[in-house]
């Protein structure tokens, strides 16, 4: 580490710049000033062929500007300070010991103050600076003393501090706690929305400029700082006379050394841009979370109505719209409001059928069909027809955002946000939110359509799997499944379960005489008659095989089942379907067997089928065209 002998008063405020900026003598003023700005320097050492010619600082630039020179074409040598104009001080700063041995190529060291403003050059002959500066020499032209030098540095620092505070839009304030008076800078007054010199120095007056909701927070922060003698930091709002609200951040601390009057001093910075950025980031995060939530619901919900209802509610709350609706468009581009979220102060639109759902004319139909939205800040500036304006005025619509809902590139409907209280300048983020949600809703619409189609397909497949293709009643597979299901249910509920087995008498002879087409028609008719007889929703009619049918009757005892069977026999006989080959009658007749059980006390569904089938066999063997009951004694 280099040893440095800065021994006078200036040593406390001046240091050597370890990385000076060097420029070429042929560089223009514009190039040099640009280089100084990029390097964050207030000066530049001007060299030519490796030799130092002079120093150029912002003071030189200011003098050139007063002469209105062309900065782009004027070489820096015309306005620099040549080395021969620099003169050493009598109280010269000493050359750092050992530096010439370490850096023999650098005989000139720039000296800067704590703000890095150029003060002069440290050379082997001493510290050299300008002798003709009014602040740095006596009237007789004597060398600048160390005291004068320190004063000049202090004045420079004060000026630069004031410029820095102004440039940073930072205000300062100083509260004399003993006298109770507050002194604030001009910039502080500007931050408060005041004219220079308007503040009267009163603590109470200061608070009248603060937002009502923030006064208590600021007061508490200041009083706590005074009581605990600690630093304070607080953010608050001020309301300017032009209606603008600004966010300020104040930082400071108590100074009390026991010798001087205690004071509370600090700085204030305008953080409105930061607050706006934070608010925008927060809104963006909320928008992304809302879109993610809608997307999550779409993945877990197949109910389109629920998704649309949640969407309009979320949008209305998020962008603070007066009304949000979803219009579903018909094939003729008429529309119906199928979802709505709105405040109670405005007329509801839910259920309204609209011939012109986009409210701005057919000119925009192609616009929506292409997937593009529309933001209207004031409907009265849109050159709408009297009919369209009358519609909007009826629902008190003064501004709106309209985005299309597309289903596979087809206009399915519209998602619309209304402002009813007044015209509204919509934020780009509001429009983008609705567009993003419209994309998610479009996915939900497509998903709901696919779900409906899949459900219908599954229903068709289920019917094909469980229905007899000829008669359209349950097939044997469905019969066995349903019988087993109801057996378990009746076992739990301790209810009776009855079964009817029915067979068309002499059906083979019917087919032989009339043909299979007529036989198929006969089976279809009988199936419809059986379905008519099975009146309750829980009753099941099934084709058991060939010309044989079965009826499952839950919660029906043996007597009830026998009544149903007899009704079926009479119903079929009453239709008098011709059957010349029948040995019983010249019409189609049926034989039926009935059995019943209490599943709760034991047995099985297979036993019930066997008993009903045995009863049917008994009916066919004892004359046909009759109903036989399980366990019934045979007639003598």
Active site residues: 547
Which parts of 355-496 are beta strand (E)?
374-376, 399-407, 410-419
Q: What are phi and psi of 5, to 5 degrees?
A: -105, 75
**Vertex 276: Cα angle to 273 and 277 (nearest 5):** 85
Measured from the Cβ of residue 600, the count of other Cβ atoms closer than 10 Å reads 14
**CA proximity to 310, closest of 299, 297, 319:** 297
Burial group, residue 595, by CB count within 10 angstroms (0-12, 13-18, 19+): buried
CA-based torsion, 364, 369, 372, 377: positive or negative: positive
- CB neighbour list of residue 372: distance below 8 Å, 6 or more residues apart: 404
Sheet of strand 497-504, all strands in order from the earlier edge strand to the far edge: 540-545, 548-554, 497-504, 590-597, 627-629
* Euclidean distance between CA atoms 389 and 381, whole angstroms: 11
**CA proximity to 248, closest of 206, 300, 294, 281:** 206
Per-residue tokens: 358: 């986009």
Per-residue tokens: 435: 């567009």
**CA proximity to 497, closest of 543, 551, 569, 542:** 551
DSSP class of residue 216 equals H
Answer whether 196's CB lies under 8 Å from 189's CB: yes
* Euclidean distance between CA atoms 582 and 61, whole angstroms: 127
* Euclidean distance between CA atoms 619 and 188, whole angstroms: 111
CA atoms within a 13 Å half-sphere pointing along the CA-CB vector of 313: 8
Per-residue tokens: 273: 């841009």
* Euclidean distance between CA atoms 337 and 327, whole angstroms: 4
Query: What Rg do the C-alpha atoms of the chain give, in angstroms?
Result: 49
CA distances from 175 to 66, 232, 287 (A): 41, 14, 44
* Euclidean distance between CA atoms 440 and 407, whole angstroms: 11
Element (H, E) at 628: strand 627-629
b/e sequence 414-440, b meaning 16+ C-beta within 10 Å = bbbbbbbeeebebeeebbebbbbbbbb
**CA proximity to 415, closest of 394, 398, 396, 439:** 439
* Euclidean distance between CA atoms 339 and 323, whole angstroms: 11
- DSSP collapsed to 3 states, 270-319: ECHHHHHHHHHHHHHHHHHHHHHHHHHHHHHCCCHHHHHHHHHHHHHHHH
């Amino acid at each position: 580490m280099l040893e440095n002998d800065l021994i006078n008063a200036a040593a406390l405020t001046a240091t050597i710049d370890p990385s000076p900026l060097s420029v070429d003598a042929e560089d223009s003023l514009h190039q040099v000033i640009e280089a100084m700005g990029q390097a964050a320097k207030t000066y530049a050492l001007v060299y030519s062929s490796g030799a130092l010619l002079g120093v150029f600082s912002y003071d030189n630039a200011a003098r050139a500007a007063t002469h209105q020179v062309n900065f782009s074409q004027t070489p820096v040598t015309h306005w620099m300070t040549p080395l021969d104009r620099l003169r050493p001080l009598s109280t010269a700063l000493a050359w750092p010991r050992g530096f010439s041995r370490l850096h023999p190529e650098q005989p000139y060291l720039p000296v800067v103050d704590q703000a890095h403003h150029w003060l002069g050059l440290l050379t082997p002959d001493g510290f050299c600076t300008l002798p003709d500066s009014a602040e740095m020499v006596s009237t007789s032209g004597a060398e600048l003393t160390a005291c004068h030098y320190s004063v000049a540095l202090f004045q420079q620092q004060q000026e630069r501090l004031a410029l820095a505070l102004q440039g940073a839009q930072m205000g300062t304030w100083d509260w004399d706690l003993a006298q109770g008076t507050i002194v604030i800078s001009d910039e502080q007054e500007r931050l408060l929305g005041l004219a220079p010199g308007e503040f009267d120095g009163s603590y109470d007056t200061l608070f009248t400029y603060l937002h009502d909701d923030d006064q208590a927070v600021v007061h508490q922060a200041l009083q706590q700082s005074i009581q605990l003698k600690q630093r304070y930091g607080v953010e608050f709002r001020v309301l300017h006379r032009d209606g603008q609200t600004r966010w300020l951040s104040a930082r400071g601390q108590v100074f009390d050394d026991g010798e001087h009057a205690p004071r509370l001093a600090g700085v204030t910075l305008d953080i409105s841009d930061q607050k706006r950025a934070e608010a925008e980031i927060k809104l963006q995060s909320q928008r992304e979370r809302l879109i993610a939530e809608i997307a999550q619901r779409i993945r877990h919900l197949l109910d389109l109505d629920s998704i649309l209802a949640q969407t309009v509610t979320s949008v209305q709350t998020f962008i603070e719209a007066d009304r949000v609706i979803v219009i579903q468009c018909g094939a003729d581009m008429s529309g119906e409001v199928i979802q709505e979220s709105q405040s109670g102060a405005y007329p509801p639109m839910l259920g309204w059928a609209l011939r012109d759902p986009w409210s701005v004319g057919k000119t925009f139909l192609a616009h929506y069909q292409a997937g593009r939205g529309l933001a209207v800040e004031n409907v009265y500036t849109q050159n709408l027809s009297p009919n369209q304006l009358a519609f909007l005025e009826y629902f008190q619509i003064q501004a709106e955002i309209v985005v299309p809902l597309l289903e596979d590139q087809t206009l399915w409907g519209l998602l619309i946000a209304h402002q009813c209280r007044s015209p509204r300048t919509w934020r780009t983020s509001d429009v983008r939110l609705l567009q993003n949600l419209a994309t998610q809703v479009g996915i939900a619409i497509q998903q709901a359509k696919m779900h409906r189609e899949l459900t219908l397909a599954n229903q068709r497949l289920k019917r094909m799997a469980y229905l007899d293709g000829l008669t359209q009643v349950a097939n044997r597979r469905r019969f066995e499944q349903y019988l087993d299901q109801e057996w378990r249910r009746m076992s739990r509920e301790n209810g009776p379960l009855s079964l009817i087995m029915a067979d068309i008498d002499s059906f083979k002879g019917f087919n032989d005489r009339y043909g299979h087409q007529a036989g198929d028609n006969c089976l279809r008719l009988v199936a419809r008659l059986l379905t008519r007889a099975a009146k309750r929703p829980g009753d099941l009619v099934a084709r058991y095989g060939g010309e044989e049918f079965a009826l499952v009757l839950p919660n029906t005892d043996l007597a009830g089942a026998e009544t149903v069977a007899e009704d079926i026999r009479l119903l079929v006989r009453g239709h008098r379907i011709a059957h010349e080959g029948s040995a019983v009658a010249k019409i189609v007749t049926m034989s039926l067997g009935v059995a019943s059980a209490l599943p709760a006390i034991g047995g099985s569904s297979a036993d019930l089928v066997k008993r009903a089938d045995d009863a049917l066999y008994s009916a066919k063997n004892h004359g046909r065209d009759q109903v036989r009951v399980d366990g019934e004694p045979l007639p003598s």
